[in-house]
Structure 1
Amino acid sequence: MTSDRRATFGRFLSLTDVADVLSLTASEVLALVSSGELPAIRLGSIGQWRVDQEVLESFIADKYDESRRLALWHEAQYADVAELFDERRTQRRTSNN
C-alpha cells in the first residue's frame, strides 16, 4: 500500500475502507471476513471489524497468485487435451498403414 494511502487510512481499515480499496460492497467484504477468507479483528466497545493494511496487502497478493495458478492450471489442462487428440491422430495414422 502506498505511503499516501497509509497516511489517509492509518494502520487499520474499516470494512467500508476495504470495500473501497477492493471495489466491492461493504456486504461483500463482511462475507469475506465472516468466512475467514479475509482475516480481521474486532476493535472498540461495539466490536467493529478492522483489517490491518498489511493483511489486506497480503490478501490481494494471494488473490493474484491464486489467479496466476488457476490460469496455469487451465493452460496445462488444455495443453493435455490437445496432446491427447494429437496422440489419437498419430495412432490412427499408424494403425491404418
Structure 2
Amino acid sequence: MNSRESGEVQRPATRFLTLEDLQAELQITYTQALSLVRSGDLPAIQIGGRGIWRVERVKLEEYIEAAYRKAARQRENEADWKEVRAWQMQD
C-alpha cells in the first residue's frame, strides 16, 4: 500500500528549516541551535517582521560535513601529540 492509498500526505523535503527543526536534526537544545545561528557558525536568514530564523538544509549539511572534517583533524593532531610524547619519554 502506498502513501496515497493509506491517506498519508507526503511533503517534499523542505528547503528551509526552523530552529526547532535544527534542534531535532542535531539533537541539541533550542538555545544551542540559536547560538549556532547567532554566532554565524551556521549560516541562516531571518524572515518576516518578527525575524524568525531559517536555515537552508544545504547549509546544515555543509556545517555537518565541516564538523566531521574538524573532528578528523583533531584526532590526527591528538595522535601526533601522543607520538611526540612517547618519543620524548624514550629519552
TM score, norm. by length of structure 1 = 0.78
Divergent runs of 4+, >2 A? none
CA distance in 1 between counterparts of 2:74 and 2:53 reads 30
Question: Which of 8, 12, 18 pairs up with 1:7?
Answer: 12
Structure 2 runs not aligned, ≥5 long: 1-10
Structure 1 runs not aligned, ≥5 long: 1-5, 89-97
Name 1:20's counterpart in structure 2.
24
Secondary structure class of the residue paired with 1:7: coil
Which amino acid is 1:32 matched to?
L
Give CA-to-partner distance per residue, 1:5-50, whole Å, 9 cap, x none: x824x10000000010000011110011111111110012321000
CA distance in 1 between counterparts of 2:12 and 2:74 reads 35
TM score, norm. by length of structure 2 = 0.83
Quote the RMSD (CA, aligned, Å). 1.3
Which amino acid is 2:12 matched to?
A
Name 1:35's counterpart in structure 2.
39
Secondary structure class of the residue paired with 2:12: helix
Name 1:92's counterpart in structure 2.
none
Task: Pick the structure with greater CA Rg.
Answer: 1
Give CA-to-partner distance per residue, 1:35-78, whole Å, 9 cap, x none: 11111100123210000000000000111111110011001001
Which amino acid is 2:47 matched to?
L
